[in-house]
């Protein structure tokens, strides 16, 4: 795949995984739209990336903002790549507490809106734009990469909403790949284990050691650059489609959540 002249929208593009991806795509010669709500951080980051990167502020559930990001990507290149790496670490309450309190539904809705609705909204609007592209020699018009999590397969205590959202990403990835086959657009997802991004960097040392303890090999946190490398590998491998790829050092998942919630008895 020739990357020069192509362009991408990276949602969560000034975050840990999104930022490493935006940097990699720029290094490959692409134009990149960093799509993000965090203006100060995103402005500084986009400037650091140089003239081939543009910042468009916005939320991935805001159609008008997403369309602005798409229009900007079409201005700076042949827009055919969308990587969605937005999200925030939020702990959920248990499904029901020992005092008889049920899980707050608004927390559940907010989590699903952020981690599942947003990536799907990006995917559908970007795919619609890709449909009008001239196909390459393989008939390909675009590639969409979403971000799941190992929690999609192995949800821990206090992760009902997060885990459900990430399982949703796995499910929609194959369905979208089949939906979008007729317009020549691929859809894949990456399911990271613990990757040392800013969201984890500030965690207590004991928690970090516990997280690394669950990883089989290599015995360390994953690196955001490894996520970006996998994005590049997906882009370079046209026969790869519909799959969610774990990026987790063959980790196993304990019952308790990263927040250190007590194991269910
Ligand atoms: N880092 C990990 O260990 C890890 C593991 C598994 C899954 N993930 C998933 O990867 C994704 C990125 O994680 P990260 O570690 O890079 O987090 P991060 O906090 O470093 O970056 C996330 C970025 O998303 C942006 N964002 C938040 N809400 C947004 C919205 N509504 N629209 C657009 N952008 C928005 C934030 O401003 C932030 O820059 C998340 O979906 C997360 O669940 C991360």
* pLDDT computed for residue 169 by the predictor: 98
* pLDDT computed for residue 44 by the predictor: 97
- What mean pLDDT do residues 245-250 have? 98
- What mean pLDDT do residues 252-260 have? 72
Ligand 1 binding pocket includes 110 (Cβ within 6 Å)? no
Is residue 68's pLDDT more than 60?
yes
Which amino acid residue places its CA nearest to atom 42 of ligand 1? 87
| 114-134 burial code (b ≥16 CB/10 A, e <16) | bbbebbbbbbebbbebbeebe
Phi, psi values for residue 151, rounded to 5°: -65, -15
Ligand 1 binding pocket includes 198 (Cβ within 6 Å)? yes
What's the pLDDT band for 258 if we cut at 50, 70, 90? Answer: low
Is residue 165's pLDDT more than 90?
yes
What's the pLDDT band for 261 if we cut at 50, 70, 90? Answer: very low
* pLDDT tens digits for range 78-118: 999 999 999 986 678 999 999 999 999 999 999 999 999 99
Q: Where are the beta strands (DSSP E) in 12-77?
A: 31-36, 53-57
Q: For residue 240, what are the contacts with CB-CB under 8 A and spacing of at least 6?
A: 186, 188, 234
* Start-end of H helices in 83-183: 105-112, 118-130, 160-180
Q: For residue 265, what are the contacts with CB-CB under 8 A and spacing of at least 6?
A: none
Which amino acid residue places its CA nearest to atom 37 of ligand 1? 38
* pLDDT computed for residue 73 by the predictor: 98
Pocket test for ligand 1, best of 9, 10, 11, 16 (most atoms within 8 A of CB): 16
180 C-alpha to ligand 1 centroid (Å): 25
Domains defined for the chain, CATH in brackets: 6-244 (3.40.50.720)
* pLDDT computed for residue 250 by the predictor: 98
Write out the catalytic residue numbers: 162
- Residue 91 CA to its chain's centroid (Å): 18
> 19 or 256, which is more confident?
19
What's the pLDDT band for 257 if we cut at 50, 70, 90? Answer: low
Ligand 1 binding pocket includes 83 (Cβ within 6 Å)? no
Task: Please give the full DSSP string across 158-175, using - where no structure is assigned.
Answer: T-HHHHHHHHHHHHHHHH
Largest CA distance in the chain: 61
What's the pLDDT band for 46 if we cut at 50, 70, 90? Answer: very high
- pTM here? 0.96
90 C-alpha to ligand 1 centroid (Å): 11
- What mean pLDDT do residues 17-41 have? 98
Pocket test for ligand 1, best of 85, 193, 258 (most atoms within 8 A of CB): 85
Q: Where are the beta strands (DSSP E) in the chain?
A: 6-11, 31-36, 53-57, 78-84, 142-147, 185-192, 244-247
Is residue 185's pLDDT more than 70?
yes
* pLDDT computed for residue 102 by the predictor: 97
Ligand 1 binding pocket includes 201 (Cβ within 6 Å)? no
Q: What rounded mean pLDDT belongs to the chain?
A: 94
Distances (CA, A) of 24 to 1, 21, 53, 231: 15, 5, 11, 9
Q: Which of 91, 92, 89, 117 shows the shortest CA–CA distance to 102? A: 92
* pLDDT computed for residue 260 by the predictor: 47
């Amino acid at each position: 795949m020739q990357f020069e002249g192509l362009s991408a929208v990276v949602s969560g593009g000034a975050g840990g995984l999104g930022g490493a991806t935006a940097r990699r795509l720029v290094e490959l010669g692409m134009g990149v739209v960093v799509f993000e709500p965090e203006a100060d951080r995103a402005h500084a980051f986009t400037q650091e990336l140089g003239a081939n990167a543009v910042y468009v502020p916005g939320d991935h559930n805001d159609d008008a903002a997403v369309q602005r990001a798409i229009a900007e990507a079409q201005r700076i290149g042949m827009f055919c790549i969308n990587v969605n790496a937005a999200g925030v670490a939020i702990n959920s309450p248990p499904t029901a507490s020992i005092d008889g309190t049920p899980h707050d539904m608004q927390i559940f809705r907010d989590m699903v809106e952020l981690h599942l609705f947003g990536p799907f909204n990006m995917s559908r609007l970007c795919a619609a734009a890709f449909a009008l592209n001239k196909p390459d020699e393989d008939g390909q018009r675009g590639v969409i990469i979403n971000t799941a999590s190992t929690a999609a397969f192995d949800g821990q205590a206090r992760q009902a909403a997060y885990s459900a959202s990430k399982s949703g990403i796995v499910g929609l990835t194959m369905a979208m790949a089949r939906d979008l086959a007729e317009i020549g657009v691929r859809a894949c997802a990456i399911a990271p284990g613990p990757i040392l991004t800013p969201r984890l960097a500030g965690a207590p040392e004991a928690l970090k050691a516990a997280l690394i303890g669950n990883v089989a090999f290599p015995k360390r946190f994953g690196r955001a650059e490894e996520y970006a490398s996998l994005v590049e590998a997906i882009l370079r491998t046209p026969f790869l489609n519909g799959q969610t790829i774990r990026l987790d050092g063959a980790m196993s998942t304990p019952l308790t959540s990263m927040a250190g919630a007590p194991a269910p008895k």
